[in-house]
Amino acid sequence: MKNKYRILKIVVTVIILGLLLSFSLKRFSGQKITDNKISVKMNEKTPVYFIDEKDIREIVKKENPSGKVGNLNIPVLEKKINALPAVDSANVYLNLNGKLYLDIRQRVPVFRLNKDGRDFYVDGKGIEFPISKTYSHPCMLVTGNVKPADYQKLAELVEKIDKDDFSKKFFIGISKSKDDYNLLTSDGNYKVEIGDLDNIEFKVKGLKTFVEKYLVFQDPQKYSMVSVKYQNQIVTTLNPYFKENDSILKAGNKELAKTPVLAAVKKPQALPKTAEKTKTPSAKPKEKTKPKITAKPKETKKADKKPAAAKSKAKVKVE
């Protein structure tokens, strides 16, 4: 009995609510949706202006030419607004007073991509949408043949750069050549090669340390590339058009030019003929001194005075 009573109570409640709703709809179906009864809200955290309130109101008027509440098809209107490229989500509903609410969230670009001669934006979800003729959003410019599979990782890289004060001021763009990504810098004409999009946080931290402890003390025109694509090392490439690098770059060529000359000088010294000439004079005095040195110990056994005289003679000959 209790269960039947509960079911009956629920059915009665639903019927009453349905009657109230139908009554309110009949009451307001003949009313017109004036501008005062349309509320448009943009709910994105970052302000963007790809579409404005005026555009939304025009869409509402096109979908409901009569302007009456009863002729408005809310699901169709909501689908129409969601189909806009710059709209991430839209929620459309009416209250019991006949006021129309439109809660809209626009797509916020993370970077602008120039690919195959075409410009478009990419949001944090990796979704493409076209640029606007009336509004240009400030964001990182990316160039090159970037694959859609890399959109989300690239968006994460740009977001990390935007959150860091140093990186945000230092990096102004990203380019892709073949399979390597490069960061374009605001100071100097060199680019930073980062390779793939793996271990991005580690690479950016290493570059930041290198810049703060070394590059800030160098001329920004000194290098043409700084590479952090290799694990645990940073490789720099000198700019050949920078005057101060001329002596450094030419030094290697000069040393290479001198090496054959040095080799030619060393070769005649190693010839066997010159070695024989140097050995013959040194061998002759040794033959003269040997018999006298061997004869001296025999004389020392007989007398102590004779070896002293022999030693003095040997010293004179050696000099």
At which of 207, 231, 253 does a domain end? 253
Could you report the per-residue pLDDT of 247-265, keeping only the tens digit for each? 655 555 555 555 554 444 4
For 233-269, b/e burial (b = at least 16 CB within 10 A) is ebebebbeebeebeeeeeeeeeeeeeeeeeeeeeeee
- 163 and 120 part of one domain: yes
Distance (Å, rounded) from C-alpha 270 to C-alpha 225? Answer: 46
- 115 and 240 part of one domain: yes
Range of the structural domain that residue 78 is part of: 35-106
| Residue range 190-196: mean pLDDT, rounded | 89
- 249 and 117 part of one domain: yes
Could you report the per-residue pLDDT of 101-126, keeping only the tens digit for each? 999 999 999 999 999 889 999 999 99
* Number of domains present in the structure of the chain: 2
Could you report the per-residue pLDDT of 264-297, keeping only the tens digit for each? 444 445 444 444 443 444 444 444 444 444 444 4
Distance (Å, rounded) from C-alpha 106 to C-alpha 46? Answer: 9
What residues contact 286, with CB distance under 8 A and at least 6 apart? none
Express as a percent the part of the chain with pLDDT over 70: 73
Could you report the per-residue pLDDT of 172-182, keeping only the tens digit for each? 999 998 889 99
Please count the CA atoms within 13 angstroms of the CA of 168 that sit on its side-chain side. 8
At which of 50, 82, 106 does a domain end? 106
Whether 203 is covered by a domain: the verdict is: yes
- 244 and 160 part of one domain: yes
At which of 220, 253, 286 does a domain end? 253
Distance (Å, rounded) from C-alpha 178 to C-alpha 212? Answer: 29
Whether 279 is covered by a domain: the verdict is: no
Tell me the pLDDT of the chain averaged across its residues.
Answer: 78
Query: Is the pLDDT higher at 102 or at 188?
Result: 102
Tell me the pTM.
0.66
- 121 and 249 part of one domain: yes
Write the CATH number for 98: 3.10.20.310
Q: What is the pLDDT of residue 76?
A: 94
Would you state the structure tokens that stand for residue 114, as one six-digit string? Answer: 């120039």
Q: What is the pLDDT of residue 23?
A: 66
Query: Is the pLDDT higher at 107 or at 310?
Result: 107
| Residue range 164-188: mean pLDDT, rounded | 87
In one-letter notation, the amino acid at residue 49 is Y
